């Protein structure tokens, strides 16, 4: 049974992706980033694809933890906080992903039709995000903050699609996250919130 | 002065992109698709990047024509028709782009941070689409069909971001366009249209 790959391989993959992008990523480049030999890497992984599959699984674990931990005093505050963390300008916060990493993720998405394991992992990200938004919208309806006519699953899929678009546009055309964020906030305010409920700049919900 | 490249080179580029994707695209593959020698291609273009730049310009011309020609009896019908043409299942209609081409376009988007000429062209697509949606929303307000409180430019950027997300999700996870279309229709109905205005399945607007 292969050993669990050490965290340093996962970290090295992140750095190598930022430096080389996905297309030019090699096992050698990842080995260089963690001071291992290529042979040592191949002890854990037969191919770049297999290593990336494990890398994406680690990323997914982090993402799930992050989705669960999103802060706020009520479901709507948490919904705003959640969409905001998906639309953070790189290097605006210390733990925000690098712009180069966002580009590498888009490269991976473009490879998904050719690499079923990537598609499978990317679909899990997509589903986890939808489930979490759906949950927050449903909780928001129950708390009397979100219009009950809205279907939580539909809203979740719609918002998730918008978030994906904002990420793609950031990479492809440099579209600023600040604008994408402002427009999504406006959508949530006018389309989802019960009249009289609002959210301050601080993220605090007032009814 | 170099000659205008023949249409057959543009068509050959389309086919070669569908067959090989962007990453594996070579001048030789394009030459093979149009029964030209690689040398003949290099007479027009120094590099794959330069050829792609011209290819994108042709595509942009077609796209502008398409945006201008979108059909409908009023601005809202035209808006629905426009978003629908962006969310067509490959091979659902004879002139719908192939799934492979959508994948190649996503690869190009992921290359944009490294290839300024791609970013420049992709930004023009983005702007043309925004301008056209903005125009239709403004006309819809004037015609009394769209809520006057909506800002046409903001709506256009929001819808464009959503459309980009639907395209990315189609490639990355195989998300069906049918669902993306249904949710966007719902957004337009509940968020943009004046109360009492509706759009039938046929696309006809009733007030």
CB contact under 8 A, A126 and B165: no
pLDDT > 90: what percent of chain A? 71
Q: Which residue of B has its CA nearest to A126?
A: B173
**Residues of B at the A interface, defined by Cβ within 8 angstroms:** 21-23, 99-100, 103, 106-107, 109-110, 112-114, 119, 122-123, 126, 154, 157-158, 160-169, 171-175, 179-180, 183-184, 186-187, 190-191
CB contact under 8 A, B166 and A165: yes
Per-position DSSP letters for B78-141, written without gaps between them? HHHHHHHHHTPPTTTSTTSPPHHHHHHHHHHHHHTTT-HHHHHHHHHHHHHHHHHHHHHHHHHH
Tally of CB atoms within 10 A around A158: 26
Range from A137-151, A186-200, B178-192 carrying the lowest mean pLDDT:
A186-200
Segment A87-121, tens digit of pLDDT: 988 876 666 678 899 999 999 999 999 999 999 99
Fold of B62-206: Tetracycline Repressor; domain 2 (1.10.357)
Cα–Cα distances (Å) from B49 to A9, A141, B56, B112, B118, in that order, read: 34, 51, 10, 11, 8
Question: In the prediction, which pLDDT does A5 show?
Answer: 60
What average pLDDT does the structure give for chain A? Answer: 90
Of A162, A167, A191, nearest to B191 by CB-CB distance is A191
Fold of A7-206: Tetracycline Repressor; domain 2 (1.10.357)
Q: What is the pLDDT along chain B (207 residues), one digit of tens a residue?
A: 344 567 888 899 999 999 998 988 999 999 999 888 888 888 888 888 899 999 999 999 999 999 999 999 999 999 999 999 999 888 766 666 788 999 999 999 999 999 999 999 999 999 999 999 999 999 999 999 999 999 999 999 999 999 999 999 999 999 999 999 999 999 999 999 998 887 766 667 776
Beta bridge partners of B146: B193
Mean pLDDT across the stretch A160-169?
98
Mean pLDDT across the stretch A132-153?
97
Strands A205-206 and A198-199: antiparallel
Per CB-CB distance under 8 Å, the chain A contacts of B113 are 99-100, 103, 171
Dihedral over Cα of B15, B160, A125, A46: its sign: positive
Respond yes or no on whether ipTM tops 0.90: yes
- d(CA A116, CA A50) in angstroms, rounded, equals 11
CB contact under 8 A, B161 and A183: yes
Q: For chain B, which residues make up each domain, given as ranges?
A: 62-206
Nearest CA to CA, how far is A139 from chain B (Å)? 21
Residues 6+ apart with CB under 8 A from A154: B183, B186
């Amino acid at each position: 049974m292969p050993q669990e790959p050490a965290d340093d391989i996962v970290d090295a993959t992140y750095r190598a992706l930022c430096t080389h992008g996905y297309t030019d990523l090699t096992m050698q480049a990842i080995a260089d980033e963690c001071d291992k030999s290529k042979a040592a890497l191949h002890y854990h992984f037969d191919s770049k694809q297999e290593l990336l599959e494990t890398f994406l699984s680690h990323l997914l674990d982090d993402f799930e933890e992050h989705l669960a931990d999103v802060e706020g005093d009520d479901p709507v505050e948490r919904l705003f906080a959640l969409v905001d963390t998906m639309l953070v300008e790189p290097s605006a916060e210390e733990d925000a992903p690098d712009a180069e990493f966002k580009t590498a993720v888009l490269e991976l998405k473009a490879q998904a039709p050719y690499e079923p394991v990537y598609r499978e992992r990317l679909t899990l990200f997509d589903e986890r995000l939808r489930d979490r938004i759906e949950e927050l919208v449903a909780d928001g309806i129950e708390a009397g903050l979100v219009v009950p006519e809205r279907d939580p699953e539909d809203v979740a899929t719609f918002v998730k699609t918008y978030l994906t678009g904002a990420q793609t546009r950031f990479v492809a055309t440099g579209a600023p996250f600040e604008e994408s964020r402002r427009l999504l906030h406006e959508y949530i305010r006018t389309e989802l919130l019960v009249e009289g409920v609002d959210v301050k700049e601080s993220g605090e919900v007032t009814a």
